[in-house]
Amino acid sequence: MNLPKLRQRYQPRVVGPEGRDHVIDTFRAEAKQWRLQWRCDDCAYQSPSNRTCSLKWPNQMLLPDDPDVLDAADVPIFCKAFESSSD
Ligand code: SF4
């Protein structure tokens, strides 16, 4: 079984005819407009002392101030365990 290919098969197709840049630009504009929180710095599970994930998820992709929206295979980058740290 080729797990990466199997995983890819069940990912949503978010890149349409407008292309990858359109998806990225739209997401960033709407995230800013609606103050979307999805990065580790906004998550209750991030350890403030060293910015690691207390649930031990690899979080390098969600640490930058302006993280990538899609990975190299056009799969959305997000964390299903995100829990807002806001009140
Ligand atoms: S649960 Fe997800 S969003 Fe939250 S700190 Fe861990 S990797 Fe980041």
- Tens digit of pLDDT for each residue in 9-26? 677 788 999 999 999 999
More confident residue, 58 or 4: 58
Distance 17 CA to ligand 1 centre (A): 31
Asked if 53 contacts 45 with a C-beta cutoff of 8 angstroms, the reply is yes
- The overall average pLDDT reported for the chain is 88
Q: Is 83 exposed, middle or buried (0-12, 13-18, 19+ CB in 10 A)?
A: exposed
Distance 77 CA to ligand 1 centre (A): 12
Distance 57 CA to ligand 1 centre (A): 6
Q: Is residue 2 scored above 60 in pLDDT?
A: no
CB neighbourhood size of 59 (10 A):
19
More confident residue, 24 or 73: 24
d(CA 48, CA 50): 6
Cβ < 6 A, ligand 1 pocket: 40, 43, 45-46, 53, 55, 57, 59, 62, 79, 81-82
Q: Is residue 75 scored above 60 in pLDDT?
A: yes
pTM of the model: 0.80
**What number is the average pLDDT over the span 39-55?**
94
